[in-house]
Amino acid sequence: MNASPAAAQLLAEVKFDAQGLVTAVAQQHDTGEVLMVAWMNGEAVERSLATGEVHYWSRSRRRLWRKGETSGQVQRLVEFRLDCDGDTLLLLVDQHGVACHTGRRNCFFRAARDGALVEIAAPVVAPETLYGSHPRG
Amino acid sequence: MNASPAAAQLLAEVKFDAQGLVTAVAQQHDTGEVLMVAWMNGEAVERSLATGEVHYWSRSRRRLWRKGETSGQVQRLVEFRLDCDGDTLLLLVDQHGVACHTGRRNCFFRAARDGALVEIAAPVVAPETLYGSHPRG
């Protein structure tokens, strides 16, 4: 990776884990809605900062992933924050469309009610519309 | 662990990692402020649901930890949510005082500005007031 000097300075502050990853929380910048949680490696951080579009590392597919690359549901990076321990990122983003691969606005649509999980949000778009036969992204 | 039947039903939906842990995002329920990110094991989930006070698993101290047990900065659990993959929790909480061990309201007080991290929030209480000579909690 050839990080820019500016990105290199930021990257040096991030404590990546043994797998080279850091947890990233994506929050809609204006409403405060927590959209999703995913993982980033150094390159994902660097590309997100350089392009202004959020990139993650897919642990299941073992590759870099630009959010929305298949679905069109991109995340524009508004602000990049790091926590006190340096091991978690908070990304303030502007989410185009829906963040969740199920077609829901955010991934946290199940909530505990009387000891059971219930769905508190319905899909706003059909997942097939987002992905067709492609893997999610 | 002797989880109640209700907690057992919820716990069965959570996908704990190889270390038996799950990522938990704590968000202030009324303002939407993301306060902190920490880890829970099954017992932390069960006790949080049973007592209404958020418990975490400390990876560094390798023990269960009731948020605020030393500092008094407790988190009352308002809502427990699970994401689409079952591997991340979103806890809507009512944070008493400050969430961060540095004395700041939340842990994400460093933000990227022109390629460098700058502090965007100051402590509102002195850490010594919270912990004295005790480890943080």
Nearest to B34 among A5, A13, A34 (CB): A34
Nearest to A84 among B32, B88, B107 (CB): B107
Strands (E), A20-74: 22-28, 34-40, 55-58, 63-66
For the cut 90, the answer to whether the pLDDT of residue A135 exceeds it is: no
Q: What is the rounded average pLDDT of the residues A55-67?
A: 96
The answer to whether B109 contacts A84, with C-beta atoms less than 8 Å apart, is yes
For residue A46, give Cα distances in angstroms to A34, A40, A113, B31, B98.
22, 10, 40, 30, 31
pLDDT of residue B39: 98
User: What pTM was estimated for this model as a whole?
Assistant: 0.94
Q: Which value does ipTM take for this structure?
A: 0.93
The answer to whether B83 contacts A9, with C-beta atoms less than 8 Å apart, is no
pLDDT of residue A81: 98
Min distance A12 CA to chain B CA atoms (Å) = 10
Neighbours of A134 (CB within 10 A): 10
Min distance B108 CA to chain A CA atoms (Å) = 4
Q: Report B:37-76 residues touching A (Cβ under 8 A).
A: 37, 49
Question: Which two three-digit tokens encode residue B21?
Answer: 């842990």
The answer to whether A33 contacts B36, with C-beta atoms less than 8 Å apart, is no
- Please write the tens of the pLDDT for every residue from B114-125: 889 999 999 999
The answer to whether B88 contacts A10, with C-beta atoms less than 8 Å apart, is no
The answer to whether B13 contacts A117, with C-beta atoms less than 8 Å apart, is yes
Confidence of residue A125 (pLDDT cuts 50, 70, 90): very high
Nearest to B83 among A7, A32, A37 (CB): A37
**Closest C-alpha to A86, from A35, A137, A10:** A10
Nearest to B25 among A4, A13, A37 (CB): A37
> How do beta strands A75-82 and A88-95 pair?
antiparallel
Confidence of residue B102 (pLDDT cuts 50, 70, 90): very high
For the cut 90, the answer to whether the pLDDT of residue A7 exceeds it is: no
The answer to whether B82 contacts A117, with C-beta atoms less than 8 Å apart, is yes
Burial B77-109 (b: 16+ CB within 10 A, else e): beebbbbbeebbbbbbbebeebbbbbbbbbbbb
B99 close to B34: Cβ distance less than 8 angstroms: no
- Please write the tens of the pLDDT for every residue from B32-84: 999 999 999 999 999 999 999 999 999 999 999 999 999 999 999 999 999 99
Task: Give the integer Cα–Cα distance in Å for B93 and B30.
Answer: 9
pLDDT of residue A2: 57
Share the mean pLDDT of chain A.
93
Q: Which of residues B86 and B132 earns the better pLDDT score?
A: B86
pLDDT of residue A131: 83
Q: Is B20 helix (H, G, I), strand (E, B) or coil?
A: coil
- Please write the tens of the pLDDT for every residue from B11-29: 999 999 999 999 999 999 9
Confidence of residue B131 (pLDDT cuts 50, 70, 90): confident
